[in-house]
Amino acid sequence: MNINECINLNASYKLIAGGIIDFTNNCGEQQIEQGLIRSKEVTAAMIAYGYQNKLGFAEGHYNTISKYIAFRFAKDEKIKVLDVGCGPGRVLYDNAGHFNNGEFIGIDSSLVSLIVANSMLRSDKKITVDLSNRSLPPVSLEPKNLSNVSLGIGDACGLPFKDNVFDCVINSYLIDRVSDPFKQLQESIRVLKPNGMFIFSSPLNFKENAIWSGYSAEQICRIMSAQKIVVKEMHDGMVWRKPFDNRGNYIDWKTLFIMGFKQ
């Protein structure tokens, strides 16, 4: 897939392992090799793709995102979709295959997550995830070989894309993991076309006490409104359950969901 028309003219990049785009230009051979080794041990896929093995409980989250996309766009539309903080690629996995004329781009700061995503989205080889350290059986995952998906490593607070270029931007489980949530929201909305759809979700589990006070559900809606997002739906408290082991220990992430359109 050619995504050059989306990329900012000032951005520089190179292709690395498996065709992943390195917008940081900092991924050396040693880092790539370490990323490949760690990707074989990563357990994020257990949650993101857990429905294939009845491990993990995140289906409400992913089904809601897919519902919004399917409702907004016809399957033959030539849409451009960006998943900011795509992680192991589950949103792309669920949706790209339904829009053969569409272009789907996932960007993340984690090379390990992107290598997992690449294995799930652009391969025919079945994947087995070793979960023996949690006393769980191995997880077998079925990949898809999708020609309309591109993956890139980059900074979510400084996206390497032009203004007003995407028909849909997905910002999922991200703003509580960046140093500047306001800047990240600005960037996600900047690259969205007028009348484009913005899908946001987060447990709002910020790492710094100073940030907690500024990002309640209501405050985030106000920030979005100031950035010309008209909020159409908001749901607070959808549960994403993260399992830990075979004793049934888990964490419930109570998730805020917002869907809106850019004026």
Give the whole-angstrom CA distance, residue 14 versus residue 223. 34
CATH superfamily of 19-262: Vaccinia Virus protein VP39 (3.40.50.150)
Contacts of residue 245, defined as CB under 8 A and 6 or more positions apart, other chains included, come to 134, 135, 136
Residue-wise pLDDT for 2-39, tens only, equals 688 899 988 889 998 788 999 998 887 667 677 666 66
**238, 181 Cβ separation under 8 angstroms:** no
Delimit the domains of the chain by residue range: 19-262
Q: Which of 68, 83, 62 is nearest to 170 (CA)?
A: 83
Tokens describing residue 219: 């405050």
239: amino acid identity, one letter = V
pTM for the structure as a whole: 0.92
Residue-wise pLDDT for 210-255, tens only, equals 787 788 899 999 999 999 999 999 999 888 877 777 787 888 889 9
